[in-house]
Structures are given as structure tokens and as C-alpha cells.
Chain A
Amino acid sequence: MRAILAFASLRRHPMRTLLAVLGLAIAAALLIDMVMLATGMRASFRSLLTSRGYELRVTPRGTLPFDTEATVGSASALVESLRAHPDIERVSPSLGSTVQAQRADRARSAFVLGTQPDLQGEYTVVNGRAPLGTDTLPREVIVNAVFLTALGATLGDTITMSTGRSAQLRLSGTPTRVVIVGEGRFLYVPPGLPALSAPLAAVQAFLGHAGRDRISLAMASVRADTSSATANAERTEVVRLWIEKTHARVTAISTETAIVQVEERLAYFRQLAIILGALSLLIGVLLVTTLVSLSVNERLGELAVLRAIGVPRSGVLQQIMLEGFMLGMAGILLGLGLGLVTAQWLNAILRDFPGLPADLDFFVWSAEAAWKSLAMLLVASTVAGALPAWRASQMRVAQALREEAIG
């Protein structure tokens, strides 16, 4: 009966209740988006880094993977040394550079990646196949969808690839013709950037002096320690330190280190998300308190009569708190849908942010985080009704009836 009465009270002013629910829905949507943002980037980045099973990234000293044009020389020796380490299971070297790609009258600058197709962890084949290995000039390439669109090309087309002439980078500008044999999804390439990949040796040969026995990155997979995750992490750290000690020219970054670095860079983002989330919670509480207070003040006489006919204080308290709960529940259900839609929309906008991997998500659905935050809002909205509910339950019945009779 209390629920019926609470629902009936809310139905009495449908427009006011609807507006309050919409307000709560917006607060809930904002809260869930902020929770998804605060926890999502970390989860997404971790998933991105670990998706291909490499725990260590070896780059030219002081750089992040493909952050600069810097490369490491004597790459074969470095890779061999890494592969010789007993705790390193496999190593995938790669070399990145910028090339000019042309098909018919269309030409675009593109990111070229030399990898060992059987070991690489930079792309996944979507259509066709990976290019076959060769240690002369590249004959086959795999490209991303942006590349195909930019050049109006399809699988099987032949394109011309050339380096730009640069005395500083010792690029010869020699053109070579290659066949597109596959379409791939490049995990670490920013959105909107045309990208192609060929076998490492072929790209090294193609880049001439600038690419000779050089790599931009080597990804290493550490042999798993099955005893525990901690032991695994410790082993990875030991290998990482060994690499940096043995090869002074490089920096070894573990997945954990990378996540910490990214978290440091995104700390303000997370703080902003937490502050906005807390604000949305506060807005929800204030909204419910205001609405329920207004509603209680309007029907003090009615509540006094309820008390007079035998409804106990606890009954009035429960009924009014139920109103807050119902408002919160309706707002949360609506807000959940609204939050997911806006998160998707905002994610699409943020994924176009220049310089970030296209596969990095800012808003990641975490059922646990979402339900926790929404439960918090539900509790907050219920508690928000507590103050007006308590005031109503403590009213002096005779006095309220007397004032009502005079009023």
C-alpha cells in the first residue's frame, strides 16, 4: 500500500515528476559516462597492449613506440640477443616510416610498417592475406581501410610506393610497385591515417640507407610463469631491466609501465571525470530533495490526516522515501540508456583525436562499475527523500490539522 501511495503521489503532478525523472536521468547518464570514462581508458589501453600477447616494447632510448622517427641500428644483433634470452619466448621487430603511395592520379602520404608477418602484433588481417616475405624490395602489401578509401583501391590493385626525397633522412625517393594482397586493421595507427605494411626486410631494403638493419620497435613476449600473476609480472620486470642494462641504446617498456605512463598523462582526465560524476550525484540528490520537499509541503494536511487515521510515523517516512526511490529508479533506468547512447557518441568523437590508436576506447562498459555507480545514485536519491520524509513524519498531527483548517 505504501508503494501504491508513493506512486500515486508522484502521479499527481505528472509533468513535474517527468521533468524530475528527466533531470535524474541526465544526472545518471552523466554519472555512468564519467564512470565509464574514468575506468574505461585504462581497461581499453590494457586490452590494446595485451591483445597480441607481447608484454615488452623495446624502442630507441627515451622514446615511446612510433612516437618519433627514431630507429635503432644493428637491429639484427639486438633481436638475436633478445631471442637468445631464456625467458623471452618470441620477438617481433618492426620498422615504421612515411611513404608516398599513388594509384592512377591519386596520391597520399601513408604510414608504412615493416614487420615479420608470422610474428607481428601490429595488425590483424580483415580481408585477403598478409604479404609474403622477401628481402628485396616489397612486392606485396597489406593496407588499412583508410588507405583503400583514400586511393580508391581494392584488393589486387597495384600501387606505386615511394619514399620522399630527404637528404637529412637519407631517403632516396626510389619508387616501387606493390600489389595490395590484404586489408588489415592496424591496432596502433591513429584513425584517418592511411597505413600499409610489408615484410620487415623488404621495407628496410625499400628505405635504403635509412632502413638498413634498423627497427623502430621490437615487441617481446616473456615466457609465462604459471605460478601466479605476480610471479609473471616480476619475471617481466627482470627481463625488462636486463634489456635496458644489456642494450644501452634502447628503452624497454612493460605493459604495466606503459599503463602507468598513460595513467599519469590522463590523470587530469580521470580527475575531471570523478569530479563531474560526483557533481552529477549531488545534482541528483538536490533534485530529489527539492521535489520531495515541495511535494510534502503541498500535502501536509493530507499527511496529517494519514497520521490521524492511523498511519504510523514510520509509514509516512517509508512512503515519502519510497517516492525518492521511485524517482531515482525511473531516472536511473532512463539514464542508463541515455548514458550508453551518449557514451557511444562521445567515444566516436574522442576516437578521432589525432595521434591516438584507432582501437583505443575512452568509454568502456564495465557492468560492475556501472551498477555500483547507479546503485550509489539510487541510494542517494532514496536518502535524499529522507530529510523531507523525516520532517513529515515528525509533524504534530493536531497542530497540522488545526493549521489546515485555518488555512
Chain B
Amino acid sequence: MSATPLLEAYDVTRRYRTGESDVHALRGVSLTINRGEFVAIVGASGSGKSTLLHLLGAVDTPDSGRVVFEGRDISTLSDADATRLRLLRVGLVFQRFYLMPTLSALENVSLPMAEAGLGKTERRARATTLLSFVGLGERTSHRPTQLSGGEQQRVAVARALANQPALLLADEPTGELDAATGAALIALLQQLNADGLTCVLVTHDAALARSARRVITMRDGRIVSDEQSSESIA
């Protein structure tokens, strides 16, 4: 594993309003994630882990502090530049999958590639390969409603990998899956990490957290511990 930093956060703060009150989601978070790491961010609800994930993936911008991705400050990017960065360099996986229900698995995976300007033939070939990689080679034409929860999340992972990102961010990826399906997904993520992809996960799932080599624990918008996991497989 290379020790080159992929992501760096410097004293990042983020505050937002919910209803009448201000929520201090992040209170001066600093961290460095190197290329090839498999990091789990854990913590109670409201501890700021999803907010941190959004900042690391250029989905959101900090109120203060800096986030540097591949040596580039992404906290001041324009919306268009941040969108382009997410499209090409970051893969995102969500708890609720969020696949387009009327598109097939193949079309769902092709979506970011189309956005990146890939031709139809190349999109189709790459999407087929990705779906085969996540174990859904026989189900490319199925719609999300014809797939189980685990299969849908695998399609979501394939979609996140569509443009060969440098970073995979997953927000509670096993949150809607049963234990066995969750374990299969964890194995898939480990395989991706073993192939060199940097993975950062936000999770409540103890099994998923244990599978990461590094576990960052958050509380009240701060990092309270940052440890290498002794139980990690790799």
C-alpha cells in the first residue's frame, strides 16, 4: 500500500440549520487518508460522520478549513467542477441504493459513463464487465424491482465504479441489508480495496467496521479515535 495521501482534511467545520436550531456537524476535523486505505468512520447518529463523508466526496463544502483531494483543494470548487470531480474521481454508494427504478441494471451502471461522454458500445461493455465483477453478469437486463436488496446494492457499487474512481465513499452501505447479504457486500468492498481502490465507509455495522483496516470514531462533530483495526483482514 502506498503512503501517498489521497485525501486530507484540515480543521474542517460544518454547521447547518435544522428547523430553528443550528447543528454543529463538524467542529474542526483533520485527517489524512492515503491511497489504498480501507477506512471505516463510525459513531452515533448525529456525530457528523455522514457530513464528513459528504465533504470528503465534494458533495458539500466546509464552512471553514480545507479538504484536499489528490493534491487539489476541493473546498472552494465551483459546483460544476465539484460535480465533474465526483463524476470522474469519486464513487458514491448510499444506504438506500437509489437506482433508477425504470432502468435496467446495465442502464443504471451506464449512467455515469454516459455523463462522462463515453460511447454507447464502450459503456455497454464496461457496464457488463462491472456487473459481472459484482456477481450480476446474468442479471444485466433486470430492473431494480426485480433484484433483491443485496443485488441492488451491488448494482449501486458497480455504478460507483463506472468511471474508475480513485475513491469509493459508502454511506451505510449495509444499512438495508440482512447479515448474510451485508457480509457478501463487505467481501466485495474488501476485494475492491485489495485491487487498490481507496474505500471510506460510514457505518453503524460493527462487522463492516471490523473489516476496515482503519477505524475513525466520531462524537459530537469531532474525531475521538483513529485506530488501525487489529481484526482487519488485509
Contacts and interface: CB of A to CB of B under 8 A. Distances in A.
Interface of A: 1, 4-5, 8-9, 11-12, 301-302, 305-313, 315, 397-399, 401-402, 404-405
B104 to A, nearest CB: 10
A397 B60 contact: yes
B87 interface: yes
B115 A311 contact: yes
Nearest to A5: B100
B84 A310 contact: yes
A307 B87 CA distance: 9
B51 A309 contact: no
B182 interface: no
Given A399-B16, A405-B50, A309 B111 contact: yes
Interface string B34-54: 000000000000000011001
Interface of B: 16, 50-51, 54, 57, 59-60, 79-80, 83-84, 86-88, 92, 94-96, 98, 100-103, 107, 110-112, 114-116, 159-160, 163, 171
Contacts of A9: 102
Nearest to B23: A402
A308 B59 contact: yes
Given A302-B98, A310-B88, 17 more contacts: A8-B103, A11-B102, A301-B96, A309-B87, A309-B159, A309-B160, A310-B83, A310-B86, A310-B115, A311-B87, A312-B83, A312-B84, A313-B83, A399-B16, A401-B94, A402-B16, A402-B50
A-B CB proximity, top 4 nearest = A310-B87, A398-B60, A8-B102, A1-B114
A241 to B, nearest CB: 71
Contact of B102 (A12, A305, A310): A12
Contact of B54 (A305, A311, A398): A398
Contacts of A310: 83-84, 86-88, 112, 115-116, 163
Contact of B51 (A8, A305, A313, A398): A398
A8 B102 CA distance: 5
B103 A315 contact: no
B140 to A, nearest CB: 16
Contacts of A401: 50, 54, 59, 94, 171
B115 A302 contact: no
Nearest to A9: B102
Contacts of B115: 1, 310-312, 315
Given A308-B92, A401-B59, A1 B102 contact: no
Contacts of B94: 305, 308, 401
A42 B96 CA distance: 62
B131 to A, nearest CB: 17
Contacts of A5: 100, 103, 111
A1 B98 contact: no
A301 B96 CA distance: 10
B58 to A, nearest CB: 9
A8 B83 CA distance: 23
A199 B96 CA distance: 89
Contacts of B101: 8, 12
6 contacts: A305-B94, A310-B83, A310-B86, A310-B88, A399-B16, A405-B50
Nearest to B84: A310
A404 B171 CA distance: 13
Contacts of B160: 309
A401 B172 CA distance: 13
Nearest to A315: B115
A397 B102 contact: no
Central interface residue in B100, B103, B110, B159, by most chain A CB within 10 Å: B100
A311 B116 CA distance: 9
Contacts of A307: 83
Nearest to A303: B98
B100 A8 contact: yes
Nearest to A314: B80
B108 to A, nearest CB: 10
Contacts of B159: 309
Contacts of B50: 401-402, 405
